[in-house]
Amino acid sequence: MEAAVVVKPAIKVAALCGSLRKGSYNRGLVRSAIDICKESIQGMDIEYVDVSPLPMINTDLEVGGRFPPPVEEFRAKISLADCILFASPEYNYSVTPPLKNAIDWASRAPNVWANKAAAIVSSGGGFGGGRAQYHLRQIGVFVDLHFINKPEFFLNAFQQPAKFDGEGNLIDPAAREKLKEVLLALQEFTLRLQGPR
């Protein structure tokens, strides 16, 4: 008699991008992460969660214990996710307004970020978005997110050879491999936090 094969449910990853620009390099990182999971990582599904429909946070919009419909939908997706992938560009040494707005909405009681594993990737000039990553880690402390420590992923988008094509798609093989390492670390850390499933 053959032993039954236990198929564990795939880890659900909510991927957020802090840039609203269509050709954003950081959104390109999210697209690449989705492709990498489909191609070579079993047991992990990434869903891109758009932050652009969210109104600017204003508690006057909370009526009768309910949030505006786009916020309710966003919070539900974060709540159902096992972990979070942030693609966080850097604006003025910090996270972008759309991303901070999304974090603040989802942290309203009940805080749907709490006790989830998370990872950050970023691309930009100079330090590749690193300062924003460090600020995002500080924010994560208060909302009870648990970030992986390593590997870190900062990508200077303007170094040669080209890292992205004209539409913002990641084309650098070494960067794609590093992105895969981040995803595998996020998967492992998420499973460790969840314990036996």
**Six-digit token pair at 91?**
């604006």
- Cβ within 8 Å of residue 167, ≥6 positions away: 23, 28
Across the range 20-49, mean pLDDT stands at: 95
Distance of CA 72 to the CA centre of its chain: 19
| 188/167: higher pLDDT | 188
The whole-number pLDDT of residue 195 equals 82
| Residue from 120, 62, 115 nearest 96 by CA | 120
Collect all residues with Cβ–Cβ distance below 8 Å to 58 and sequence separation of at least 6: none
Average pLDDT of the segment spanning 49-54: 98
Q: Residues 83-97: what's their mean pLDDT? A: 95
Predicted pLDDT at 42: 94
For the segment 108-133, what is each residue's pLDDT rounded down to a tens digit? 999 999 999 999 999 988 877 889 99
Do the strands 153-156 and 146-147 form a parallel or antiparallel pair, or are they unpaired?
Answer: unpaired
Residue 172 has pLDDT above 90, yes or no: yes
Closest Cα partner for 165 from 15, 16, 41, 31?
A: 31
Nearest to 120 by CA among 147, 91, 140, 97: 147
Could you give the domains of the chain? 11-194 (3.40.50.360)
Residue 141: pLDDT over 70:
yes
Query: Among residues 59, 150, 144, which one has the least CA distance to residue 108?
Result: 59
pLDDT single digits (tens) 92-106: 999 999 999 999 999
Q: What is the pLDDT of residue 30?
A: 97
Q: Output the pLDDT for position 1.
A: 54
Helix (H, G, I), strand (E, B) or coil at 197: coil
